[in-house]
Amino acid sequence: MDKFIPVTREELIAEGISQPDFVYVIGDAYVDHPSFGAAIISRLLESLGFSVGIISQPDWHTEKDFKRFGKPRLAFLVTGGNIDSMVAHYTSAKRKRSNDMYSPGGKAGKRPDRAVITYCKKIREIYPEVPIAIGGLEASLRRFAHYDYWDDVVKPSILIDSGADLLMYGMGEHQIKELAEGLNEGKSISDITYIRGTCYVTDPINTPWGAVQCPDFAQVCNDKKAYAKATRQQYDQQDEVYGKTVIQRHGDKMLVQNPPAYALTQEELDEVYALPFTRKVHPMYDSQGGVPGIEEVQFSIAHNRGCFGYCNFCSIALHQGRRVTCRSEKSILEEAKKIIDMPNFKGYIHDVGGPTANFRSPSCEKQLKLGMCKGKKCLAPDICPAIKANHSEYLAILRKLRALPKVKRVFIRSGIRFDYLLADSDDSFFKELVREHVSGQLKVAPEHCSNVVLDKMGKPHIEVYNKFQKRFYEITKSIGKEQYLVPYLMSSHPGSTLQEAIKLTLYLKENHIHPEQVQDFYPTPGTISTCMYYTGYDPYTMEEVYVPKTPKEKAMQRALLQYYLPQNREIVLEALKKAKRYDLIGNGSECLVTPDKTFISNKKGGESKRLHNKNDHQPRKAVRQGTKNKTVHQKAKAQTKRKQKPQ
């Protein structure tokens, strides 16, 4: 029988426990799967001999849910969930979302805005003397003073706003073990200031010596250059080898961030993933339609952690870290066998990946002793000569997974770093990736085509993607398959002027790419790109960066990438006029949109002339008529449907 962590007092008492050691308040529905951080932390505590009661998505308007287990013996633990509660609730345009993949039935509204703060304040009202420790993505990325996109202000550390006693940043396994042991020994949480990967608030007189001091909260609120400087200091100390304690004054208190926790060893990672997860949604949600967030991961395997790709808009460097660690082949195969034994397994392992699927080892040998290079990226704008790209171990694991009984296909759906793939002199993995592990479409993330913008993103230049794209289709053709690349694209990232957005549009047109979805840059807390968005400065060069900020310009940049949609025609016309790209308005094959009847061009120094060309009286080619003119995505959809592969 599947055994979940207790979610009611009755379940706790049935286990012979009257008072839990920890009460864990989470912003997501309770899903006992290793892709959910709350499941890992609760199962780890259980394995260490501590009892845990889970309160998922409590009603924050009353005290009832928070009193379910009474006062815990050691502490309350609080997390906002797998994703930030504000990102869960709002689009990049700050519009309210109607769904939440981590809530029952996918319905929004089950958690509050700024969930960690709201939950902590309610706990403090009820149990003022009980220690509170916070963790997870929402807390981790708000550990310093940070720009809040939704209120358009700089907010203090979440430790200050929440009133919690301790913040665990990063993945949390080492931190929760040390915290639990310290509390169990009778130590006060105010004295547990020694754990790596944690933050605490203290009186300035207790500030540890030798720390790196960021500009204080008042400074970063009033001086954008000070904010940019603080961002660089914080990132420069996020290495487990050389990272120092970082401090930031908040009024009459000092925020102290201890150096990062050490990454889990392979043996430790294997132990975590061997914990007795049911890999299921708790049955209390069955009547509400389950929890949609399980669907993409139920038959997936995470084989690594960390990412040395270090994109500026990504939170991984500040949360998981840049050092890549991985599980053993034995651990991965054992998890695959558990998946195969599940009654609803249909023969398809949906993913064998992680933050970046094709990373299995640290970027170079040097970093193991000296740490990651400060202020530099391993893969961008050019790949570092010290990189040793090798996919042989990953490929061997994939081959063994494919050979398991009842396994029909093994897919790779988390991100592939195409630049790292190309750096491998042996293209065996590339060939097998295309032949065996793509379900009609392979998702990749060039993000843009303008090298000006790509430099601000921390991504490789477009020439690298072009080389990858060419080779992908060569291999696809050689094996007689019809498969397509699905590129992730981002509009309105810092550095992207209207001219750069048009450059990307022309690139898409030239390559016959019609993206079905476009991601507008989302300034989430803590990232380097968010620093650029708020300050207008690159924190590593202190050069000014152009930032598209107005809703109008952001809408223009987004619409340009889908210029072919009839509903975008007017705003694309407006964008092209603003950019003075009259050459792209017309009926010719080189144009993006047709002109209005009243549109007059003055591109020749004030001479009025109706914009036209030799194709004015010819009908426009239909992009959706017949197989020849299908978009890349439509072809991929058709192919996938014909073969009846799972999405």
Domains, the chain, with CATH or none: 9-257 (3.40.50.2300), 301-567 (3.80.30.20)
CA dist 66 and 623 (Å) reads: 56
| Per-residue confidence (pLDDT) for residue 2, from 0 to 100 | 77
Question: The tokens 């904010």 sit on which residue?
Answer: 227
- Spans of the chain below 70 pLDDT: 1, 597-647
| Per-residue confidence (pLDDT) for residue 550, from 0 to 100 | 94
CA dist 65 and 596 (Å) reads: 60
CB 237, CB 244: distance < 8 Å: yes
| Per-residue confidence (pLDDT) for residue 296, from 0 to 100 | 87
Q: How far, CA to CA in Å, does 239 sit from each of 4, 160, 258, 260?
A: 36, 25, 11, 7
| Per-residue confidence (pLDDT) for residue 518, from 0 to 100 | 85
| Per-residue confidence (pLDDT) for residue 641, from 0 to 100 | 40
| Per-residue confidence (pLDDT) for residue 598, from 0 to 100 | 58
Q: How far is CA 581 from the centre of its chain?
A: 35
pLDDT tens digits along 12-68:
999 999 999 999 999 999 999 999 999 999 999 999 999 999 999 999 999 999 999
Question: The tokens 């590339």 sit on which residue?
Answer: 430
Q: Other C-beta atoms within 10 Å of 82: how many? A: 22
pLDDT tens digits along 286-327:
999 999 999 989 999 999 999 999 999 999 989 999 999 999
